[in-house]
């Protein structure tokens, strides 16, 4: 019984450590890793690492590479464009449909996330901000009250985690994203869902445009 109780805990620990390595760019789209390598690096046995990797594969962080190895999911520009198009449609729809006024509980939850984001901005902690960014947008779906849409959104963001890192690390400062999040929350607090929808549309399009501009610059540099 004791070993059964400990196994999930070690698997969760492995999951969190590997995810942190991804968010801190210790493992990138150019890195080839294996369960054995991760096991040695983390100082854990293969079993909890295998369980963690299985979950990370399911969430879309990794894809299977050659010889049983693992590669970070690398999205094409077409996939990125489709992702942002879908995000705009989903999140604009959610903003318009959120019931007004916000409950005191939801207003406090949004404000708490903004405060944590501000701390991450002040510390220049991109990895932490990315996690908080996903939580912020997911919370908006939860406030809207559609669990299916919320689950779909989380799966999308997980699958394209590498895109989020590129956006925040290279082309789109976390300070800018934080300021835009504040605008969205202020619109909701003032019961202006139309303005909130417009703000979130601009927010997503801004990130999309910056990502594509950076991709074009990198492509020219390699030509």
Looking at residue 215, its pLDDT comes to: 62
Looking at residue 29, its pLDDT comes to: 74
Looking at residue 105, its pLDDT comes to: 96
* Residue 40 and residue 1 in contact, taking contact as beta carbons nearer than 8 Å: no
**Residues in the chain with pLDDT < 70?**
1-8, 159, 161-172, 214-223
Looking at residue 3, its pLDDT comes to: 39
Looking at residue 221, its pLDDT comes to: 52
Looking at residue 1, its pLDDT comes to: 35
Q: How many helices (H) and strands (E) does the chain have?
A: 10, 3
Looking at residue 98, its pLDDT comes to: 95
Looking at residue 6, its pLDDT comes to: 46
Looking at residue 171, its pLDDT comes to: 56
Q: Shortest CA distance to 11 belongs to which of 57, 58, 63, 46?
A: 46
User: What percent of the chain is helix, strand and coil (3-state, nearest 5)?
Assistant: 80, 5, 15
* Residue 206 and residue 180 in contact, taking contact as beta carbons nearer than 8 Å: yes
């Amino acid at each position: 019984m004791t070993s059964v109780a400990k196994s999930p805990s070690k698997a969760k620990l492995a999951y969190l450590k590997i995810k942190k390595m991804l968010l801190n760019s210790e493992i990138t789209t150019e890195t080839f890793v294996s369960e054995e390598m991760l096991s040695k690096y983390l100082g854990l046995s293969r079993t909890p690492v295998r369980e963690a990797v299985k979950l990370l594969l399911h969430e879309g962080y990794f894809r299977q590479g050659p010889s049983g190895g693992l590669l970070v999911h690398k999205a094409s520009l077409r996939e990125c464009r489709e992702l942002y198009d879908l995000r705009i449609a989903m999140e604009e729809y959610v903003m318009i449909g959120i019931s007004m006024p916000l409950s005191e509980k939801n207003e406090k939850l949004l404000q708490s996330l903004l405060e944590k984001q501000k701390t991450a901005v002040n510390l220049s902690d991109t990895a932490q901000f990315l996690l908080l960014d996903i939580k912020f947008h997911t919370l908006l779906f939860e406030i809207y009250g559609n669990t299916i849409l919320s689950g779909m959104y989380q799966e999308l963001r997980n699958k394209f985690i590498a895109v989020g890192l590129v956006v925040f690390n290279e082309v789109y400062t976390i300070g800018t994203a934080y300021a835009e999040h504040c605008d969205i929350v202020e619109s909701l607090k003032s019961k202006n869902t139309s303005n909130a929808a417009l703000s979130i549309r601009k927010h997503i399009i801004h990130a999309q445009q910056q990502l594509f501009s950076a991709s074009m610059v990198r492509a020219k540099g390699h030509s």
